Chain A
């Protein structure tokens, strides 16, 4: 009898522990003295990010008594982990999100909306750079996050290679870029470095060029409009740098790990389209006086409806999970991270721009690179479509462009009709 009782107790204990594990408590905890923060990878490594953030978080603890546990999450994992946290209701209190996902994540309804009252507690709507705030959620809804770091695309060029080829100023149109590129492509060096298998980068360039050709990826109701001639033209323009103009090394077709930055830094390619590349170039050993920076080119003769857009509003936002048990502390932390002091420290470390208007004239962000980024953000950048299906757009269009680049590497320039066909297939998969 005794044996049986032991067994019963053991079984019951086991069952109980299993159930407890199922409903176990997550990382955030319920007390008001700690916060968990998932930071996105902004610097060259996760460790470097942690090193940059730690002293700032210590400052926050000193001010408020709230200890922040930080984890730097690589980009490849971030979206999935945010999704998992949204689904389970377990996870950090405060997170960084890529601003292109804003509307997609907003649709999950897992984040605290920054309505007038909430945003008022971190300084109000007017405190943030308007274009950056516009990329923090769908139109007509309170933003799902507030902007933290701002970025934009620019054209980076190698001054020495330009001088040797007799080119006196950076190209302002795509036609000039191709002409310059042809002059620069010789002796194993190439005119332009492209990231030929980088899904997100593809979706950015597809958006920017589509705007220039007068296209849209989603209509006003948020329905996908992928297979338009304008969108196909835009993609063709980008792929043809390799396929038809041959100013990109065919090997770039398999680049997906920022290899194009390395190629530019090592002088294998003379031009690069990138967001705030300066910090990375320095780490690759390129001196600041070796490269120049200019706005991303436009079409010389844009078709009717073509818009003067040469970058998406790129950037990182900061958001609070609804499931956080320390809402007040989380909001305090957001306020801290978007304060003038922290914005200066962190954006300087990352080479990005502050997302608050109070720092727009700060000399710390007046270098040539920052100036081009700031001018672009102020005048010629547009947010990617703020629709819930944005993350699907990125993947599907990025995938289409990967395949086109693979074909281009073998010398095949795609026709507009062919691209439209592929875009149609992609559009049918948007749910």
Chain B
């Protein structure tokens, strides 16, 4: 994924230089690459290949000690994961849809909030620096500590949210649950947005700094109002930032494990059963590492395809424009 993201944009064709006299390629540059290659192998490639290898095995507690000897079962794990008539497949599909819905909401809201805050904080005013710092706090806090505080706030009987809603504002009579049942989905969305939007804010603010001021002045002279300027100047100028930002937000939200795990524990409510938690449960809690790996590989394929299509179309749109 990283390689695709950091690939240079279509560079202008290099002016053809006169080929210099060929020299013997020095070994040093390649040797210097070795540490990076070793690390890349150790951190990404080998675990990934091991995951694929595991997904083809029946790797349960019976084989965990001698895991390399787990029996080969071909594509059976994939069949079970993807068979929507079986309980396992049905639940995986359910958590997939929950994740999609959650991701769309979280990315949309985080982006919207981030953009609004970035635009509003463009003009200098007293206390701007303070506000900027405050907005970035969620991003700087350790996830575990932040989310566990949310889980305290959202407790039904002792949480601060219900205290305000029920005891102080008298908006609802019956104390709602936020961590179990249907509301748990919304709690998750809110906590994730709270966690992700400062990143959007940071990226967009940086992007806005790069927009030349005279474009706004020109638009202003042409009589463009706030919304028109936003649509005609700000958003097009932010396109390169947006492209990366939306993709990163999508991938982070889709794969977020920490937030639901800390908020709900090992067994998330049905309505907020994100796919990352679901795969964790299949592999680590019910001890079927082969099945969990197969699910992870499917997820990886799905995310690669979505990212690939996204990059293809955004590039194409830019090339066409």
Which residue in chain A gives the minimum CB-CB distance to B87? A428
- Cβ of B225 under 8 Å from chain A: no
Chain B residues positioned under 8 Å from A402 (CB to CB): 180, 267, 269
Contact check, B286 vs A431: say whether CB atoms are below 8 A apart: yes
Q: Is A7's CB within 8 Å of the partner chain B?
A: yes
CB neighbours (8 Å) of A409 from chain B are 177, 180-181
Which A residues are CB-close (under 8 A) to B269? 402-403, 406
Knowing A83-B287, A199-B266, A254-B155 are in contact, say whether A405-B180 is a contact too (CB < 8 A): yes
Cα separation A76 to B144 with both chains bound (whole Å): 15
Query: Which residue of B has the minimal Cβ distance to A12?
Result: B34
B-facing mask of A392-431, CB < 8 A → 1, else 0? 1001101100110111011000000000000011111111
Q: Which of these binds chain A: B56-64, B118-126, B209-217, B241-249?
A: B56-64
Partner of A87, one of B67, B86, B90, B157: B67
Against A, the Cβ 8 Å flags (1 = close, 0 = not) of B94-120 are 000000000000000000000000000
Asked whether, in the complex, the Cβ of B64 is within 8 Å of the Cβ of A197, the reply is: no
- Bitwise interface map of A from 250 to 287 toward B, beta carbon under 8 Å scored 1, else 0: 01011010000000000000000000000000000000
Whether the pair B31, A104 counts as a contact (CB closer than 8 A) is no
The one of A4, A15, A76, A110 that contacts B34, using a Cβ cutoff of 8 Å: A15
Min C-beta distance of B85 to chain A, whole Å: 10
Of B61, B88, B180, B291, chain A has the most CB atoms within 10 Å of the CB of B61
* Chain B hits for A398, CB < 8 A: 267
- In Å, the complex CA distance between A107 and B155 comes to 39
Interface check A309, CB cutoff 8 A: no
Per-residue CB contact flags for chain A residues 189-218 toward chain B (1 = under 8 Å, else 0) read 000000001010000000000000000000
**B286, A109: Cβ atoms closer than 8 Å:** no
Q: Does A8 contact B (CB under 8 A)?
A: yes
Verify if A80 is at the interface (C-beta below 8 Å from B): yes
The answer to whether the Cβ of B265 comes within 8 Å of any Cβ in the partner chain is yes
**A11 on the interface (CB 8 Å rule)?**
yes
A388 at interface (Cβ–Cβ under 8 A)? Answer: yes
**Contact between A7 and B266, CB atoms less than 8 A apart:** no
Q: Which A residues, 354 to 409, have Cβ-Cβ distances below 8 Å to chain B?
A: 388, 391-392, 395-396, 398-399, 402-403, 405-407, 409
Q: Which residues of A contact B287 (CB under 8 A)?
A: 83, 104, 391-392
Known interface pairs A395-B266, A409-B180, A431-B291; A86-B60 also in contact (CB < 8 Å): no
B62 CB to closest chain A CB (Å) equals 5
Contact of B179 (CB < 8 Å), options: A86, A254, A395: A254
Q: Which of A1-53 contact B (CB under 8 A)?
A: 3-4, 7-8, 10-11, 14-15, 18
B267/A199 in contact, CB under 8 A: yes
10 more contacts with CB within 8 A, not counting A8-B31, A76-B266, A403-B270, are: A4-B28, A7-B28, A14-B34, A197-B267, A199-B266, A251-B157, A254-B180, A406-B180, A410-B181, A429-B88
